[in-house]
Amino acid sequence: MATASGDNSGVRGPARGDALGRWVGHHPIAALAVAVAIIVVLWLVLAPWPAGFEDIFGRKRLFINAIFNGITLGGLYFLVATGFTLIFGLMRNVNLAHGSLYLFGGYMGYEAGEWTGSWLFGFVIAFISCAIVGMAMQFFIFRRMEGQDLRQTLVTLGLSIIFSDLMVWVWGGNAIQIDTPDYLMGPTPTPIVVAVKSSGDAVFLQYPRVRLVIFVAAVLIGIGMWLALHRTRIGVMIRAGVDDRDMLSVLGYRVQLLFILVFAFGAGLAGIAGIVGGTFQSISLGEDSHFLLASLQVVIVGGMGSIPGAALGAIIIGCAEQLGQTYFQNYATVVTFVIMVIVLALRPQGLLGRR
């Protein structure tokens, strides 16, 4: 597929335990650069900044907040993008209605929360309703045009227009904020020093609990998906389908059922992400294209069809976006764009993508 002469001969399936070791062996310089970058970032986060440092880079609190916001936003992007990448990897369907599913999930979760007063119940409703929409899309439309990438993509485009217009009809154009439940309200102290008072006392970072909890949940979902993909029978089928869909169906597996399941799951994840997004920020008209863009960037940077790639891409894009907004307000999107361009130039298949 890709045309560039990348040098990724060492990476075959990033999931294998020895892949990292082999990659380091093949690319000692790149590995060193990554290691140094990680150490620098860790030092910047953990150590109190020396005097003079803050004069150049601004307050440490700003930086730490940007990093934390970036990583937690990355968790949200992961939830959205992982469904996108799963659907793309298995069905070669670029689901441009994915942003609409995100928005729909957010609205449904909001309604459920308003009805029952339970934030968690909203997740169930959002997952189920988006999964139903996803299943319907796969069952009624995409099943009939299998293998026609462009036509499927155009259909998702048409659907996204209709969905977003219908959602404006039902919920209007105003932004909706989903209330954080009481037990997740307020800040959580963290052991990270953001400043040192003149008395010598360290000031520790206080960070919103809900964002930390949601990030942990995103990580757990990621690990759960990894386990499901590598330890269960359905996971084996999905991975086989990503590699060679025709062979899988020739072998007698019920590929159509698998497609519907994966579409439902991917759409459901987008729905869950909608509630998370509505709690973090707000859900409103136009957020669908924002999150579609985020998924595209995450998937292009991380690697198309790869779940670890989606995780890596989500963290990178989330941090780049937040750091960009903190330090270059007028050019924040340029930062993520430049990252995308660099990745496309060096590894067209994405950081963890396979050819």
Q: Which residues in this chain contact other proteins in the complex, by CB under 8 A?
A: 1-4, 92, 94, 96, 141, 147-151, 153-155, 157-162, 164-166, 169, 289, 292-293, 296-297, 299-300, 304, 329-334, 336-337, 340-341, 344-345, 348-349
Q: Which is nearer to other proteins, 180 or 297 (CB)?
A: 297
Q: Which is nearer to other proteins, 148 or 281 (CB)?
A: 148
Positive or negative, the CA dihedral 342, 345, 350, 351 is: negative
- Tokens coding 43: 């030092």
Closest distance between other proteins and the C-beta of residue 63, in Å?
20
Closest distance between other proteins and the C-beta of residue 152, in Å?
9
How many angstroms separate the CA atoms of 262 and 256, rounded?
10
Q: Which is nearer to other proteins, 29 or 345 (CB)?
A: 345
Helices (H) and strands (E) in the chain, counts: 14, 2
Question: Are 302 and 347 spatial neighbours (Cβ–Cβ below 8 Å)?
Answer: no
Q: Which is nearer to other proteins, 155 or 212 (CB)?
A: 155
Q: Which of 148, 161, 189, 181 is nearest to 276 (CA)?
A: 181
∠ CA 346-350-352, nearest 5°, is 115
Closest distance between other proteins and the C-beta of residue 305, in Å?
11
DSSP string, 131-148: HHHHHHHHHHTGGGGTT-
Closest distance between other proteins and the C-beta of residue 94, in Å?
6
How many angstroms separate the CA atoms of 330 and 307, rounded?
32
**Beta carbons within 8 Å of 105's beta carbon, 6+ residues apart:** 126, 127, 129, 130, 268, 270, 271, 272, 273, 274, 275
Q: Which is nearer to other proteins, 1 or 51 (CB)?
A: 1
DSSP string, 266-277: HHHHHHHHHHHH
Q: Which is nearer to other proteins, 158 or 189 (CB)?
A: 158
Closest distance between other proteins and the C-beta of residue 203, in Å?
31
Q: Which is nearer to other proteins, 155 or 210 (CB)?
A: 155
Question: Are 295 and 99 spatial neighbours (Cβ–Cβ below 8 Å)?
Answer: yes
Question: Are 25 and 9 spatial neighbours (Cβ–Cβ below 8 Å)?
Answer: no
Q: Which is nearer to other proteins, 65 or 148 (CB)?
A: 148
Report the first-to-last Cα separation within the chain, whole angstroms.
6
Closest distance between other proteins and the C-beta of residue 148, in Å?
5
Question: Are 85 and 306 spatial neighbours (Cβ–Cβ below 8 Å)?
Answer: yes
Q: Which is nearer to other proteins, 192 or 292 (CB)?
A: 292
Q: Which of 51, 56, 43 is nearest to 198 (CA)?
A: 51
Closest distance between other proteins and the C-beta of residue 277, in Å?
16
**Beta carbons within 8 Å of 86's beta carbon, 6+ residues apart:** 238, 262, 265, 266, 305, 307
Closest distance between other proteins and the C-beta of residue 141, in Å?
8
Closest distance between other proteins and the C-beta of residue 284, in Å?
14
